[in-house]
Amino acid sequence: MSQPPAQVVGMGTVLDHVRTPQEVLRPHVVEFRNVTKTYNAGKTDEFTAIRDVTFVVEDVVEKGEFICVLGPSGCGKSTILRSIAGLEPQHPATSGDVLVLGQPVVGPGSDRGMVFQDYTSFDHRTVLENVTFGLECLHMPRKQRDELGREWIHKMGLNVATDAHKYPHELSGGMRQRVAIARTLILKPRIILMDEPFGALDPLTRLNMQDLLVKLWKEVQATVFFITHSIEEAVFLGDRVYLMSNSPGTILEELKIEPATSSANEMQRQPKFLEAVYYIRDKITKLESNQ
Amino acid sequence: MNFSFLDRLLRNWLTLRKPVSRLQAIGLGVACILLCLTGWWLITQGAAESRLVGPLTLPSPAETFSKFSELWNDFALTRNVLVTLRRVSIGFALALMVGIPIGVTAGCFPRVHAFLSPLIMIGRNVPLAAVLPLMIFIFGAGEKNKVMFIFVASVAFVISDAARAIMDVSARYIDTAYTLGASRWQTISKVLVPLAAPTIFSACRQMFGLAFGYIMLAESIKIADEVGGLGYQIQIFQRRGFREHIYLIILVIPMVALVIDQVLAWIQRQLFPHLYGGDGMLRSLVRITLIPWESMKSLFFYRTPVSLPSVATEERPK
Ligand SMILES: Nc1ncnc2c1ncn2[C@@H]1O[C@H](COP(=O)(O)OP(=O)(O)OP(=O)(O)O)[C@@H](O)[C@H]1O
Ligand SMILES: [Mg+2]
């Protein structure tokens, strides 16, 4: 949507035309309208994972939002995330509309990058080949993509000289997730979907990864959907937190959170941080006891 | 020898699945061979009449090995081994060339698999003794029927093993590839096939051993002037009552099989360094040969040099 050249008059600018509502009303990044997903519909083991889920994530100019999703186990968090990604069998939804940038989701694509909880590095590819996988699929010339790949390996805090040619089985869990994040971010996706990416990491590595993620997220300006079981993680990372109810899951509450001002370790000691955490913890405890 | 030493030894040897050093492994193998030879020697020693097992059933080791030079020179052992190997290799290579693409397709698309499954079922259970005469009817006397016999005997197994290997690749790799923007074809060629390749290779390596056994069956029938092969030699020796030679060939075949298997194991290690370590010489070779092809594709398909074609750059103002 490039604007035609405009005439500058002092501190003002004359636009070449009067703006229309369509131009100003930017489509929502993600929109769920009464989405219900029933697995194995029509069979004896039919199971409704999410019911009537409706929410919207606006497009904030110059900055994607960081959305955290919290909820008891099995409430349908992964179901929501995978519907946005367009992955089967969560896609298509049984009823309702899943819209991304105003368009119904028709299938997976690199505009919605995803980082999974399990390690999904391609075992037969080196770190560099893993990171540049998406660029290779775009047929970017090898030299160019290797250069970009090295840049991202470095950004992810890995050692380009020693790690780039290792195979995934030679890496620790934290390093594997760095590779997984790098190969997603290198494609500059509009939306990044993360399904408990740090779930298998030890607490210290986890804090480091959180700081790294915040830094990189600001750089790529994408909207992030981040599923986690850690309330601290959600409050630290999130601009918004969605609290989900038990299955069949719905979104129960939406919290807006102030942006973090310092590192994960420091932030997580502040009283206002802890207050938000305790509030959410009470909510979830109540939810789980109602099960 | 005190008790604690024995105790330690036992504990060391009886630890479940404890890895063995290469030297020790070879030593144990040699010990087994020596034990068998000793047993063989014991039951066949002494004068012909006083033996535990008569020379007509089992000649003594000395008698057997003394015939080796005859086997080597007069019966052209090397040539026969090579003739046999050539037949198996051609037949098996054909089976791989036909079977792997079909198997991979069947593994990727369950409908294709469902369509082919009756044929695979028949192919896997076909009675080989019945196939052999058929091959001779169809392909006539000569080399062709033997090669095709190996092909028919193994192709169904290649197809089903390749399909199984593809189906066993975890779905999460497909999901990952798709969310990184891979097309269906790219997902097959860059993810499914490479991830399934080690399994397919192992299966084929084992099947080659079986095929090597099948060929003896095909070679034991000589109709026209096709030359030799180990199976045919065994047939001749049997007719002439050359027991020593038959025993020697029985010993030679596993040796040949061992050499081939070691070569295949080496190829496997070099192709899949992510599983077996090492520097992956053959893998690098494969990748290097693919570079020109890949650069060509970059020229044709890659059009956006700086910013990547994602929703981000299309929809958002700079
Ligand atoms: N493919 C499937 N077929 C049938 N049922 C499924 C399938 N996937 C998920 N479910 C069910 O749907 C419910 C929601 O699953 P989902 O994976 O979305 O939960 P979750 O919130 O991500 O849980 P967790 O926090 O444990 O990852 C679960 O009860 C699960 O058993
Ligand atoms: Mg989940």
Interface list for A 184-203 with B (CB within 8 A): 184, 187-190, 193
Whole-angstrom distance, CA of residue A33 vs CA of residue A27: 14
B242, B283, B213, B187: which is closest to B63 by C-alpha? B242
B263, B297, B269, B294: which is closest to B283 by C-alpha? B269
Nearest chain A residue to B291 by CA: give it: A142
Nearest chain B residue to A90 by CA: give it: B175
Which positions in chain A touch B195 (Cβ < 8 Å)?
Answer: 122-124
Residues A281, A231 contacting (CB under 8 angstroms) = yes
What is the secondary structure of A240-274 as a DSSP string? EEEEE-SSSB-EEEEEE-PPP-S-HHHHTTSHHHH
Both tokens of B300, joined, read: 């044709």
Both tokens of B172, joined, read: 């999460």
In a domain, B204, yes or no: yes
Nearest chain A residue to B315 by CA: give it: A1
Three-state DSSP at B82 gives helix
| Cα atoms in the Cβ-side hemisphere of radius 13 Å centred on B139 | 17
In short, whether A116's Cβ falls inside 6 Å of ligand 1 is no
Q: Which residues surround ligand 2, an ion (CB under 5 A)?
A: A 78
So what's the pLDDT on residue A129? 95
Best probe residue, ligand 1, of A38, A40, A47 (max atoms within 8 Å of C-beta): A47
Low-confidence ranges of chain A (pLDDT < 50): 1-3
Q: Which domain holds residue B221?
A: 65-312
**Domain definitions of chain A by residue range:** 7-111+189-289, 121-188
Q: What is the architecture, at CATH level 2, of domain A7-111+189-289?
A: 3-Layer(aba) Sandwich (3.40)
In a domain, B52, yes or no: no
Nearest CA to ligand 1 atom 18: A76
Prediction pTM value: 0.85
Q: Using CB atoms, which residue from A114, A135, A169 is nearest to B179?
A: A114
So what's the pLDDT on residue B191? 96
Which positions in chain A touch B291 (Cβ < 8 Å)?
Answer: 142
Helix (H) or strand (E) holding A214: helix A203-220
Looking at all shown ligands, the one closest to residue A82's CA atom is 1
Both tokens of A69, joined, read: 């999703």
Per residue in A14-73, pLDDT (tens digit) is: 877 787 776 677 788 999 999 999 999 888 899 999 999 999 998 877 778 999 999 888
Best probe residue, ligand 1, of A36, A46, A77, A246 (max atoms within 8 Å of C-beta): A77
Both tokens of A58, joined, read: 């606006």
Q: Which CATH number belongs to the domain containing residue B194 in this structure?
A: 1.10.3720.10
Residue A186: CB partners within 8 Å, gap ≥ 6? A131, A132, A134, A135, A148, A149, A152
Low-confidence ranges of chain B (pLDDT < 50): 305-318
> Distance (Å) from the C-alpha of residue A111 to the closest C-alpha of chain B?
5
In short, whether A79's Cβ falls inside 6 Å of ligand 1 is yes
Number of domains composing chain B: 1
Interface list for A 17-76 with B (CB within 8 A): 27, 61
The answer to whether residue A165 neighbours chain B at the CB level (below 8 Å) is no
How far does residue A77's CA lie from ligand 2's centre (Å)?
6
Per residue in B150-167, pLDDT (tens digit) is: 999 999 999 999 999 999
Which positions in chain B touch A2 (Cβ < 8 Å)?
Answer: 317-318
In a domain, B130, yes or no: yes
Q: In what order do the strands lie in the sheet with A30-39?
A: A47-57, A30-39, A95-100, A103-104
In a domain, B274, yes or no: yes
Q: Which atom, in ligand 1's list, is nearest to the CA of A249?
A: 14
The answer to whether residue A148 neighbours chain B at the CB level (below 8 Å) is no
Q: Do A142 and B182 touch (CB under 8 A)?
A: no
> Distance (Å) from the C-alpha of residue B15 to the closest C-alpha of chain A?
26
Q: Do B181 and A87 touch (CB under 8 A)?
A: no
> Distance (Å) from the C-alpha of residue B194 to the closest C-alpha of chain A?
7
